[in-house]
Amino acid sequence: MNAPEREPSGQEASGVPGSRLTHDDRRRISAWLAEGLGYAEIGRRLGRPTSTISREVARNADRGAYQADHAQRVAGGRARRRRPVPGAEPPPGGRSEAARAFVERFAGLLAGTGLPRMASRVFVCLVTSDSGSLTAAELVHGLRVSPASVSKAIAYLEAMELVGREPDRGGRRERYFVGDDVWIRAWRADTGAHAEVAEAARRGVEIFGDGTPAGDRLARMGGFFRRISEQMGGVTGTAGRDALTVLAALVYAGRPLTVEDLAAALGWPRERAAAALDMAEHRPDVTGPLVLRRAGPGTYTVSPGEDRLSAAQRAALRPEESRETAHGGPVVAGQRGTSPTR
């Protein structure tokens, strides 16, 4: 009767304990898994912790099935990616003094725009990195600050959508990066904010009164932010062009129109006309010198933007309006200055 074949000991199976798993180790793991052995028993036979076996199977299995050859290729590729590449980017702490000075100066400029100082430093460090991304540890080392400071700055930048994150090559850490479209996102955010300030200032003029000290200050403020928004945003896309088309239609008609009137005249579906009116009503940066107003329930008209002209300029252009206002006569907003252009 032949003696049973002795299982290799841990030393025989994997050489020095703690060394990397070999291709032979992975073949044994695959065979023992096929026999139904558990991770603990496989670890005992290889002289490895149970966690090493479970991690190996989880990371290198192919669609749930552990195959030795596939696991070896995956592990080998991961090891190659972790090796330092000759001539790769030095850590931020190893940069030249000129580069570090530039980061600090540039961060100071960004801080002057309202970005917190530490967030500015982290942002500039990411922008100027050769690889385009850095780990939190690399940022801590390069900026010579605490991990908590970097973590807080990253959280702020992520909330502002100025920084993104991606898994590190090893899969255990995360890398932070500044996306290529960050500038257009920041631009759009500023444009929208400027348009909201301009609209709020216009409503303030209506509340405090045109020609009053507060009204005049709000009108100047609204005009300033509206021009910034116009210059930064412009009018692009079908929605912007549709808004200008309904304004032109209202000017040409010279009378209030409903959504149905505009849709019929322009040959549009009602939904398209309603969307164009909504943009024209809520985006003063799109409507330019004209303001869309509600003339009554469900009807719209246009009038010149009052923030474009001072009270004195409007009085000089419409002396009869000033006389009517002085004597308490009615002035119908949005009805004047809309004569048809034939």
pLDDT digits (tens, 9 = 90+) for 284-314: 667 777 888 898 888 999 988 766 667 777 7
Predicted pLDDT of residue 261 = 94
Q: Please, which pLDDT band fits residue 142 given cuts at 50, 70 and 90?
A: confident
Predicted pLDDT of residue 27 = 92
* 27 contacts: CB under 8 Å, gap ≥ 6: 68
Predicted pLDDT of residue 43 = 85
> Is the alpha carbon torsion for 235, 239, 241, 243 positive or negative?
negative
Long-range contacts of residues 189-197, Cβ cutoff 8 Å, at least 24 apart: 189/161, 190/232, 191/229, 191/232, 191/233, 191/285, 194/225, 194/226, 194/228, 194/229, 194/232, 194/285, 195/225, 195/226, 195/229, 195/233, 195/283, 195/284, 195/285, 197/221, 197/222, 197/225
Predicted pLDDT of residue 5 = 39
Q: Give the mean pLDDT of 179-206.
A: 73
Predicted pLDDT of residue 83 = 46
Burial readout 198-230 (b: 16 or more C-beta within 10 A, e: otherwise): bbebbebbeebebeeeebbebbebbbebbebbb
Q: Who wins on pLDDT, 197 or 239?
A: 197
Rounded Cα gap, residues 123 and 103, in angstroms = 9
* 122 contacts: CB under 8 Å, gap ≥ 6: 139, 143, 150, 153, 154, 157, 163, 176
Q: Please, which pLDDT band fits residue 91 given cuts at 50, 70 and 90?
A: very low
Predicted pLDDT of residue 186 = 67
Q: Who wins on pLDDT, 65 or 147?
A: 147
- Output the six-digit token pair for 282: 């809520």
Predicted pLDDT of residue 1 = 39
Average pLDDT, the chain: 76
pLDDT tens-digit map of 207-252: 888 888 888 888 888 888 777 766 655 555 567 788 889 999 999 9
pLDDT over threshold 80, residue 165: yes
Q: Give the mean pLDDT of 259-275.
A: 92
Most confident of 137-151, 272-286, 325-339: 137-151
Predicted pLDDT of residue 122 = 93
Q: Who wins on pLDDT, 223 or 91?
A: 223
Q: Who wins on pLDDT, 321 or 244?
A: 244
- Output the six-digit token pair for 163: 């920084």
Predicted pLDDT of residue 28 = 92
Q: Please, which pLDDT band fits residue 12 given cuts at 50, 70 and 90?
A: very low
pLDDT over threshold 90, residue 258: yes
Query: Within a 10 A sphere around the Cβ of 13, how many other Cβ atoms?
Result: 19
Rounded Cα gap, residues 243 and 76, in angstroms = 59
pLDDT tens-digit map of 17-66: 445 788 899 999 999 988 888 888 898 898 888 878 887 887 788 766 88
Q: Residue 83 gets which letter from DSSP?
A: S
